[in-house]
Amino acid sequence: HTTSGTMGERSARGAATNTSAGEANVSWLLDLFGQYRRAKESAQASLDAAYSSADVAKLTLLQDLVNSYIDLRFYQERLALSRANLKSRQETYELTKFQLEAGAASRLDVVQAEGLVQSTQAEIPGLETNIRVAAHHIATLLGQPAGSLLGELLKGAPQPIFRGPIASGVPADLIRNRPDIRVAERNLAAATANIGVAISQLYPTITLSGSISPSYVKVAGVSGGSLTSWSFGPTLTLPIFDGGRLRANVDIAKSDAKTQYLAWKSTVLSAVEEVENALTAVRRDAETVEALRAQVKTTQETLELSTASYKDGASSLLDVLDAQRQVSLAQASLAASIQQMAKDYVSLNVAIGGGYNPGAPHTSAPPKAS
Protein backbone atom coordinates (compact mmCIF):
# COMPACT_ATOMS: atom_id res chain seq x y z
CA HIS A 1 0.00 0.00 0.00
CA THR A 2 1.35 3.42 -0.92
CA THR A 3 0.29 6.88 0.12
CA SER A 4 1.14 9.90 -1.94
CA GLY A 5 0.34 13.55 -1.84
CA THR A 6 1.77 16.80 -0.58
CA MET A 7 0.60 18.17 2.71
CA GLY A 8 -0.18 21.89 2.51
CA GLU A 9 -0.68 21.79 -1.26
CA ARG A 10 -3.43 24.26 -2.12
CA SER A 11 -6.14 23.41 -4.53
CA ALA A 12 -7.93 25.93 -6.57
CA ARG A 13 -10.18 26.51 -3.55
CA GLY A 14 -7.21 26.89 -1.22
CA ALA A 15 -7.61 23.46 0.52
CA ALA A 16 -4.98 20.78 1.17
CA THR A 17 -5.33 17.52 -0.85
CA ASN A 18 -4.39 14.00 0.40
CA THR A 19 -4.32 11.05 -2.00
CA SER A 20 -4.13 7.34 -0.94
CA ALA A 21 -3.64 4.59 -3.48
CA GLY A 22 -2.82 0.89 -3.60
CA GLU A 23 -2.29 -1.81 -6.19
CA ALA A 24 -2.60 -5.61 -6.15
CA ASN A 25 -1.47 -7.98 -8.91
CA VAL A 26 -2.01 -11.73 -9.24
CA SER A 27 -1.35 -14.26 -11.96
CA TRP A 28 -2.04 -17.94 -12.58
CA LEU A 29 0.13 -20.21 -14.72
CA LEU A 30 -1.95 -22.88 -16.44
CA ASP A 31 0.15 -26.06 -16.58
CA LEU A 32 -1.63 -27.50 -19.59
CA PHE A 33 1.31 -29.59 -20.86
CA GLY A 34 2.90 -30.63 -17.56
CA GLN A 35 5.91 -28.32 -17.62
CA TYR A 36 5.74 -27.35 -13.97
CA ARG A 37 4.63 -30.81 -12.82
CA ARG A 38 7.64 -32.43 -14.50
CA ALA A 39 9.92 -29.69 -13.17
CA LYS A 40 8.66 -30.53 -9.67
CA GLU A 41 9.39 -34.23 -10.27
CA SER A 42 12.92 -33.36 -11.37
CA ALA A 43 13.53 -31.20 -8.31
CA GLN A 44 12.17 -33.91 -5.98
CA ALA A 45 14.40 -36.55 -7.58
CA SER A 46 17.44 -34.28 -7.26
CA LEU A 47 16.64 -33.75 -3.58
CA ASP A 48 16.41 -37.51 -3.02
CA ALA A 49 19.76 -37.93 -4.78
CA ALA A 50 21.31 -35.37 -2.43
CA TYR A 51 20.04 -37.25 0.63
CA SER A 52 21.36 -40.53 -0.77
CA SER A 53 24.76 -38.90 -1.39
CA ALA A 54 24.84 -38.10 2.31
CA ASP A 55 24.15 -41.80 3.02
CA VAL A 56 27.14 -42.73 0.82
CA ALA A 57 29.32 -40.45 2.94
CA LYS A 58 27.94 -42.03 6.14
CA LEU A 59 28.82 -45.54 4.96
CA THR A 60 32.32 -44.38 4.00
CA LEU A 61 32.79 -42.89 7.45
CA LEU A 62 31.57 -46.07 9.16
CA GLN A 63 33.89 -48.21 7.06
CA ASP A 64 36.87 -46.02 7.94
CA LEU A 65 35.93 -46.08 11.63
CA VAL A 66 35.51 -49.86 11.82
CA ASN A 67 38.69 -50.51 9.83
CA SER A 68 40.62 -48.23 12.19
CA TYR A 69 39.30 -50.22 15.15
CA ILE A 70 40.33 -53.47 13.43
CA ASP A 71 43.83 -52.04 12.88
CA LEU A 72 44.05 -50.99 16.52
CA ARG A 73 43.24 -54.49 17.79
CA PHE A 74 45.60 -56.04 15.22
CA TYR A 75 48.56 -53.96 16.39
CA GLN A 76 47.70 -54.73 20.00
CA GLU A 77 47.70 -58.44 19.18
CA ARG A 78 51.03 -58.11 17.41
CA LEU A 79 52.43 -56.24 20.40
CA ALA A 80 51.28 -58.99 22.77
CA LEU A 81 52.84 -61.62 20.50
CA SER A 82 56.11 -59.69 20.30
CA ARG A 83 56.31 -59.38 24.06
CA ALA A 84 55.63 -63.08 24.48
CA ASN A 85 58.26 -63.92 21.86
CA LEU A 86 60.69 -61.55 23.56
CA LYS A 87 60.23 -63.39 26.84
CA SER A 88 60.77 -66.76 25.13
CA ARG A 89 63.88 -65.55 23.32
CA GLN A 90 65.32 -64.02 26.48
CA GLU A 91 64.91 -67.40 28.15
CA THR A 92 66.73 -69.03 25.24
CA TYR A 93 69.46 -66.40 25.51
CA GLU A 94 69.90 -67.09 29.22
CA LEU A 95 69.93 -70.83 28.54
CA THR A 96 72.61 -70.37 25.88
CA LYS A 97 74.79 -68.40 28.26
CA PHE A 98 74.42 -71.18 30.81
CA GLN A 99 75.35 -73.73 28.15
CA LEU A 100 78.42 -71.62 27.27
CA GLU A 101 79.59 -71.68 30.86
CA ALA A 102 79.09 -75.45 30.91
CA GLY A 103 81.07 -75.83 27.72
CA ALA A 104 78.09 -77.10 25.73
CA ALA A 105 77.67 -74.00 23.55
CA SER A 106 79.89 -71.64 21.63
CA ARG A 107 80.21 -67.87 21.75
CA LEU A 108 78.58 -67.78 18.32
CA ASP A 109 75.48 -69.42 19.77
CA VAL A 110 75.25 -66.74 22.44
CA VAL A 111 75.62 -63.91 19.94
CA GLN A 112 72.94 -65.39 17.69
CA ALA A 113 70.50 -65.75 20.57
CA GLU A 114 71.25 -62.21 21.72
CA GLY A 115 70.66 -60.86 18.21
CA LEU A 116 67.23 -62.48 18.07
CA VAL A 117 66.32 -60.81 21.38
CA GLN A 118 67.44 -57.44 20.08
CA SER A 119 65.48 -57.77 16.81
CA THR A 120 62.34 -58.56 18.80
CA GLN A 121 62.92 -55.56 21.05
CA ALA A 122 63.19 -53.37 17.94
CA GLU A 123 59.67 -54.38 16.80
CA ILE A 124 57.90 -53.17 19.92
CA PRO A 125 58.24 -49.34 19.61
CA GLY A 126 56.85 -49.35 16.07
CA LEU A 127 53.85 -51.43 17.13
CA GLU A 128 53.17 -49.10 20.06
CA THR A 129 53.28 -46.14 17.69
CA ASN A 130 50.82 -47.80 15.29
CA ILE A 131 48.45 -48.49 18.18
CA ARG A 132 48.35 -44.83 19.17
CA VAL A 133 48.02 -43.66 15.55
CA ALA A 134 44.97 -45.89 15.08
CA ALA A 135 43.48 -44.69 18.38
CA HIS A 136 44.02 -41.05 17.41
CA HIS A 137 42.32 -41.62 14.06
CA ILE A 138 39.31 -43.23 15.77
CA ALA A 139 39.00 -40.20 18.04
CA THR A 140 39.20 -37.87 15.05
CA LEU A 141 36.45 -39.76 13.20
CA LEU A 142 34.26 -39.57 16.31
CA GLY A 143 34.95 -35.85 16.65
CA GLN A 144 36.48 -36.15 20.12
CA PRO A 145 39.87 -35.25 21.61
CA ALA A 146 42.30 -38.14 21.40
CA GLY A 147 42.99 -38.06 25.11
CA SER A 148 39.36 -38.76 25.99
CA LEU A 149 39.42 -42.17 24.26
CA LEU A 150 43.01 -43.36 24.69
CA GLY A 151 42.42 -44.80 28.14
CA GLU A 152 39.55 -46.97 26.93
CA LEU A 153 41.10 -48.01 23.62
CA LEU A 154 44.52 -48.85 25.05
CA LYS A 155 43.08 -51.36 27.53
CA GLY A 156 43.30 -53.99 24.84
CA ALA A 157 40.79 -56.51 23.52
CA PRO A 158 40.81 -59.55 21.22
CA GLN A 159 40.90 -59.04 17.48
CA PRO A 160 37.44 -58.80 15.88
CA ILE A 161 36.83 -61.99 13.91
CA PHE A 162 33.97 -63.01 11.69
CA ARG A 163 32.08 -66.14 12.75
CA GLY A 164 28.92 -67.49 11.22
CA PRO A 165 27.23 -67.81 7.85
CA ILE A 166 27.44 -65.18 5.14
CA ALA A 167 24.12 -63.70 4.03
CA SER A 168 24.42 -61.26 1.14
CA GLY A 169 20.76 -61.15 0.15
CA VAL A 170 19.37 -61.13 -3.38
CA PRO A 171 20.17 -58.71 -6.22
CA ALA A 172 16.89 -56.81 -5.72
CA ASP A 173 17.89 -56.11 -2.10
CA LEU A 174 21.26 -54.86 -3.32
CA ILE A 175 19.60 -52.37 -5.66
CA ARG A 176 17.35 -51.13 -2.87
CA ASN A 177 20.05 -50.96 -0.20
CA ARG A 178 23.01 -49.38 -1.98
CA PRO A 179 22.81 -45.60 -1.54
CA ASP A 180 25.10 -44.97 -4.52
CA ILE A 181 22.66 -46.91 -6.72
CA ARG A 182 19.89 -44.80 -5.24
CA VAL A 183 21.83 -41.66 -6.21
CA ALA A 184 22.25 -42.88 -9.78
CA GLU A 185 18.58 -43.90 -10.02
CA ARG A 186 17.36 -40.54 -8.70
CA ASN A 187 19.66 -38.69 -11.10
CA LEU A 188 18.17 -40.75 -13.92
CA ALA A 189 14.65 -39.89 -12.72
CA ALA A 190 15.53 -36.18 -12.64
CA ALA A 191 17.01 -36.34 -16.16
CA THR A 192 13.91 -38.18 -17.45
CA ALA A 193 11.62 -35.57 -15.92
CA ASN A 194 13.68 -32.84 -17.58
CA ILE A 195 12.78 -34.36 -20.96
CA GLY A 196 9.14 -33.67 -20.17
CA VAL A 197 9.99 -30.11 -19.19
CA ALA A 198 11.86 -29.54 -22.45
CA ILE A 199 9.05 -31.05 -24.55
CA SER A 200 6.37 -28.98 -22.81
CA GLN A 201 8.25 -25.82 -23.72
CA LEU A 202 7.52 -26.57 -27.37
CA TYR A 203 3.84 -25.85 -26.75
CA PRO A 204 2.06 -22.55 -26.02
CA THR A 205 1.81 -21.28 -22.47
CA ILE A 206 -1.15 -19.40 -21.05
CA THR A 207 -0.94 -17.02 -18.11
CA LEU A 208 -4.02 -15.56 -16.45
CA SER A 209 -3.21 -12.24 -14.80
CA GLY A 210 -5.19 -9.50 -13.15
CA SER A 211 -4.66 -6.30 -11.23
CA ILE A 212 -6.73 -3.90 -9.19
CA SER A 213 -5.74 -0.31 -8.26
CA PRO A 214 -8.03 1.42 -5.73
CA SER A 215 -7.40 5.11 -4.85
CA TYR A 216 -8.97 7.58 -2.47
CA VAL A 217 -8.75 11.36 -2.77
CA LYS A 218 -9.67 13.71 0.05
CA VAL A 219 -9.62 17.49 -0.03
CA ALA A 220 -9.51 19.23 3.30
CA GLY A 221 -12.98 20.33 4.33
CA VAL A 222 -14.63 18.36 1.51
CA SER A 223 -15.88 14.77 1.46
CA GLY A 224 -13.45 12.46 -0.36
CA GLY A 225 -14.09 10.24 -3.32
CA SER A 226 -12.70 6.90 -4.55
CA LEU A 227 -11.69 5.55 -7.94
CA THR A 228 -10.87 1.91 -8.68
CA SER A 229 -9.35 0.56 -11.89
CA TRP A 230 -8.84 -3.13 -12.67
CA SER A 231 -7.79 -5.45 -15.44
CA PHE A 232 -7.97 -9.20 -16.07
CA GLY A 233 -7.07 -11.33 -19.05
CA PRO A 234 -4.98 -14.18 -20.42
CA THR A 235 -1.51 -13.95 -21.92
CA LEU A 236 -0.68 -16.43 -24.65
CA THR A 237 2.94 -17.20 -25.53
CA LEU A 238 3.63 -19.02 -28.79
CA PRO A 239 7.16 -20.48 -29.09
CA ILE A 240 7.35 -20.36 -32.87
CA PHE A 241 10.27 -18.02 -33.46
CA ASP A 242 13.00 -19.68 -31.38
CA GLY A 243 15.32 -20.70 -34.18
CA GLY A 244 15.21 -24.39 -33.18
CA ARG A 245 16.51 -23.68 -29.69
CA LEU A 246 13.65 -25.46 -27.89
CA ARG A 247 13.93 -28.59 -30.02
CA ALA A 248 17.67 -28.60 -29.41
CA ASN A 249 16.92 -28.45 -25.66
CA VAL A 250 14.79 -31.59 -26.04
CA ASP A 251 17.67 -33.41 -27.72
CA ILE A 252 20.02 -32.26 -24.97
CA ALA A 253 17.62 -33.50 -22.28
CA LYS A 254 17.30 -36.88 -23.99
CA SER A 255 21.08 -37.16 -24.31
CA ASP A 256 21.53 -36.33 -20.63
CA ALA A 257 18.94 -38.99 -19.71
CA LYS A 258 20.87 -41.59 -21.77
CA THR A 259 24.05 -40.58 -19.97
CA GLN A 260 22.37 -40.96 -16.58
CA TYR A 261 21.00 -44.35 -17.59
CA LEU A 262 24.46 -45.58 -18.53
CA ALA A 263 25.79 -44.22 -15.22
CA TRP A 264 23.04 -46.08 -13.33
CA LYS A 265 23.75 -49.30 -15.23
CA SER A 266 27.48 -48.99 -14.56
CA THR A 267 26.83 -48.35 -10.86
CA VAL A 268 24.66 -51.47 -10.57
CA LEU A 269 27.19 -53.67 -12.36
CA SER A 270 30.03 -52.31 -10.23
CA ALA A 271 27.99 -52.93 -7.07
CA VAL A 272 27.37 -56.57 -8.06
CA GLU A 273 31.07 -56.99 -8.81
CA GLU A 274 32.03 -55.54 -5.41
CA VAL A 275 29.67 -57.94 -3.62
CA GLU A 276 30.98 -60.96 -5.52
CA ASN A 277 34.59 -59.99 -4.83
CA ALA A 278 33.87 -59.38 -1.14
CA LEU A 279 32.06 -62.73 -0.80
CA THR A 280 34.99 -64.52 -2.42
CA ALA A 281 37.49 -62.71 -0.21
CA VAL A 282 35.67 -63.53 3.05
CA ARG A 283 35.34 -67.21 2.13
CA ARG A 284 39.02 -67.47 1.18
CA ASP A 285 40.05 -65.55 4.30
CA ALA A 286 38.25 -68.10 6.47
CA GLU A 287 40.17 -70.93 4.80
CA THR A 288 43.47 -69.05 5.24
CA VAL A 289 42.82 -68.39 8.93
CA GLU A 290 42.01 -72.05 9.53
CA ALA A 291 45.23 -73.16 7.82
CA LEU A 292 47.35 -70.65 9.74
CA ARG A 293 45.87 -71.76 13.06
CA ALA A 294 47.09 -75.26 12.28
CA GLN A 295 50.48 -73.89 11.22
CA VAL A 296 50.87 -71.96 14.49
CA LYS A 297 50.08 -75.09 16.46
CA THR A 298 52.63 -77.09 14.46
CA THR A 299 55.41 -74.51 14.82
CA GLN A 300 54.82 -74.23 18.56
CA GLU A 301 55.11 -77.98 18.92
CA THR A 302 58.30 -77.90 16.85
CA LEU A 303 59.72 -75.20 19.14
CA GLU A 304 58.95 -77.23 22.24
CA LEU A 305 60.62 -80.33 20.80
CA SER A 306 63.70 -78.49 19.54
CA THR A 307 64.13 -76.67 22.88
CA ALA A 308 63.94 -79.94 24.81
CA SER A 309 66.39 -81.56 22.40
CA TYR A 310 68.79 -78.61 22.76
CA LYS A 311 68.71 -78.86 26.54
CA ASP A 312 69.60 -82.54 26.24
CA GLY A 313 72.41 -81.71 23.84
CA ALA A 314 70.85 -83.65 20.99
CA SER A 315 70.40 -80.65 18.68
CA SER A 316 72.02 -77.31 18.02
CA LEU A 317 70.89 -73.85 19.05
CA LEU A 318 70.28 -73.05 15.41
CA ASP A 319 67.31 -75.45 15.43
CA VAL A 320 65.80 -73.62 18.41
CA LEU A 321 66.32 -70.19 16.92
CA ASP A 322 64.83 -71.27 13.60
CA ALA A 323 61.82 -72.76 15.39
CA GLN A 324 61.30 -69.51 17.27
CA ARG A 325 61.38 -67.55 14.01
CA GLN A 326 58.84 -69.89 12.47
CA VAL A 327 56.53 -69.49 15.45
CA SER A 328 56.83 -65.71 15.27
CA LEU A 329 56.15 -65.62 11.52
CA ALA A 330 53.17 -67.98 11.79
CA GLN A 331 51.63 -65.97 14.63
CA ALA A 332 52.12 -62.70 12.77
CA SER A 333 50.60 -64.20 9.61
CA LEU A 334 47.61 -65.48 11.57
CA ALA A 335 47.01 -62.07 13.15
CA ALA A 336 47.28 -60.38 9.74
CA SER A 337 44.85 -62.89 8.20
CA ILE A 338 42.31 -62.29 10.96
CA GLN A 339 42.71 -58.56 10.38
CA GLN A 340 42.17 -58.98 6.64
CA MET A 341 39.15 -61.22 7.13
CA ALA A 342 37.55 -58.64 9.41
CA LYS A 343 38.19 -55.85 6.89
CA ASP A 344 36.84 -57.95 4.03
CA TYR A 345 33.72 -58.65 6.06
CA VAL A 346 33.30 -54.91 6.61
CA SER A 347 33.74 -54.36 2.87
CA LEU A 348 31.07 -56.99 2.20
CA ASN A 349 28.59 -55.22 4.47
CA VAL A 350 29.35 -51.89 2.82
CA ALA A 351 29.02 -53.49 -0.63
CA ILE A 352 25.51 -54.75 0.17
CA GLY A 353 24.54 -51.40 1.68
CA GLY A 354 24.43 -52.58 5.26
CA GLY A 355 23.12 -49.92 7.66
CA TYR A 356 21.44 -47.88 4.93
CA ASN A 357 17.72 -47.31 5.45
CA PRO A 358 16.06 -46.57 2.11
CA GLY A 359 12.66 -46.34 3.75
CA ALA A 360 13.53 -43.27 5.80
CA PRO A 361 11.30 -40.29 4.91
CA HIS A 362 14.14 -38.05 3.72
CA THR A 363 11.97 -35.55 1.93
CA SER A 364 9.09 -35.31 4.36
CA ALA A 365 8.51 -32.17 6.34
CA PRO A 366 9.98 -32.08 9.86
CA PRO A 367 7.49 -32.67 12.68
CA LYS A 368 5.94 -29.59 14.17
CA ALA A 369 6.48 -28.80 17.80
CA SER A 370 3.33 -29.21 19.84
How far apart are alpha carbons 119 and 121 in whole angstroms?
A: 5
Q: What is the pLDDT of residue 51?
A: 92
- Classify 202 as helix, strand or coil: coil
Q: What is the pLDDT of residue 18?
A: 66
pLDDT digits (tens, 9 = 90+) for 289-330: 999 999 999 999 999 999 899 888 777 888 888 899 999 999
Do 264 and 184 form a contact (C-beta atoms < 8 A)?
yes
Percent of the chain, pLDDT > 70? 78
Cα R_g (the chain), whole angstroms? 39
How far apart are alpha carbons 19 and 216 in whole angstroms?
A: 6
pLDDT digits (tens, 9 = 90+) for 34-43: 788 888 999 9
Identify the CATH assignment for 33-203+243-351 out of 3.30.2350.10, 3.40.190.10, 1.10.3720.10, 1.20.1600.10.
1.20.1600.10
The answer to which of 13-22, 62-71, 224-233 has the lowest mean pLDDT is 13-22
Q: Residue 3's beta-bridge partner residues?
A: 20
Specify the amino acid at residue 89. Answer: R
Pairing state between β 225-237 and 205-219: antiparallel
**Rounded to two decimals, what is the model's pTM?**
0.76
The residue with greater pLDDT, 279 or 171, is 279
Measured from the Cβ of residue 7, the count of other Cβ atoms closer than 10 Å reads: 8
The answer to which of 85-94, 135-144, 163-172, 188-197 has the lowest mean pLDDT is 163-172
How far apart are alpha carbons 243 and 247 in whole angstroms?
A: 9
The confidence band for 262, taking pLDDT boundaries of 50, 70 and 90, is very high
The residue with greater pLDDT, 112 or 370, is 112
Q: In the chain, where are the structural domains located? A: 33-203+243-351
Q: Residue 214's beta-bridge partner residues?
A: 228
Q: Which of 226, 228, 217 is closest to 9 using CA atoms?
A: 217
Q: What is the pLDDT of residue 218?
A: 65
Q: What is the pLDDT of residue 254?
A: 94
The answer to which of 87-91, 165-169, 234-238 has the lowest mean pLDDT is 165-169
DSSP state, 33? Answer: T
pLDDT digits (tens, 9 = 90+) for 109-138: 889 889 989 999 999 999 999 999 999 999
How far apart are alpha carbons 188 and 242 in whole angstroms?
A: 28
Measured from the Cβ of residue 263, the count of other Cβ atoms closer than 10 Å reads: 16
Q: Which of 345, 195, 364 is closest to 282 using CA atoms?
A: 345
The answer to which of 10-14, 84-88, 148-152, 284-288 has the lowest mean pLDDT is 10-14
Longest dimension (CA), the chain: 141
pLDDT at 4 over 60: no
